[in-house]
Amino acid sequence: MKKSVYISGGNSGKWLLLFLLTELAGIAVGSFMALHFRNSGILQKYICPELFGGGFLEVFTGTLVILAVFLALAFFFGLSVFGQPVGAALLMCLGAELSCSAALIYAEKGISALPAVLLMYMPKMAVISAVGLLSVRELMRTSTGLLKSMTSAGDTPNLRSYCMRYAVLFSAAVIISLADALVNHFFSVSL
């Protein structure tokens, strides 16, 4: 019988490196998108609303919508045995979104936006990236557990624990969105 290899969401550092490389590929795609589609309404409304005159509420909802959609997709595809490729695609999309926002600022403001990007956007991107990596790790872990339980006599993943982890990640998304809106509200003069 042929042995199958599954991507596990375990503690192994090689899988984290694989996830980070996937997100870096998305960063390259996002930079390209920002250069070619920078007049798009979706980019202006959700990815970088503070650059196009958005206020506190627009920045809060823009960040929260992106994170909530990402977490909802990761949650639901984690409950599927086909969740692993979707998790990789989600990380690539998250990387694209993060780099697109930074590239839009550079394209609009030039080198004068460098301090604002370093002080306001890089910490936001790091925290959003961490939430994304944690959610995809949970997606991979649960999806792999479901696949193993279907192919052998393994235990099914604990659904209650899975839901609680995503509740914590969604709470973190709300806090990140609020912090992003507050930082942009108080320091928007630097843009």
Q: Does the residue 122 lie in any domain?
A: yes
Q: How many domains does the chain have?
A: 1
| pLDDT, tens digit, 9 for 90 and up, residues 108-119 | 777 777 777 777
Q: Does the residue 6 lie in any domain?
A: no
**pLDDT over 70 (residue 183):** yes
> What local confidence, expressed as pLDDT, does residue 91 receive?
87
| pLDDT, tens digit, 9 for 90 and up, residues 9-66 | 455 567 777 777 777 777 777 777 766 666 666 555 556 666 666 678 888 888 898 8
| pLDDT, tens digit, 9 for 90 and up, residues 60-84 | 888 898 899 999 999 999 988 888 8
Sign of the C-alpha dihedral computed for residues 54, 60, 66 and 72 taken in this order: negative
Q: Does the residue 1 lie in any domain?
A: no
> What local confidence, expressed as pLDDT, does residue 2 receive?
46
Q: Does the residue 2 lie in any domain?
A: no
Q: State the Cα–Cα distance between residues 18 and 69, nearest whole angstrom.
A: 23
Instruction: Please say whether the beta carbons of 88 and 22 come within 8 A.
Output: yes
Query: How much is the average pLDDT of 78-92?
Result: 87
> What local confidence, expressed as pLDDT, does residue 6 receive?
46
Q: Does the residue 124 lie in any domain?
A: yes
Q: CA-CA-CA-CA torsion for 125, 128, 130, 135, nearest 10 degrees? A: -150
> What local confidence, expressed as pLDDT, does residue 38 receive?
61
**Boundaries of domain holding 113:** 13-190
Q: Does the residue 7 lie in any domain?
A: no
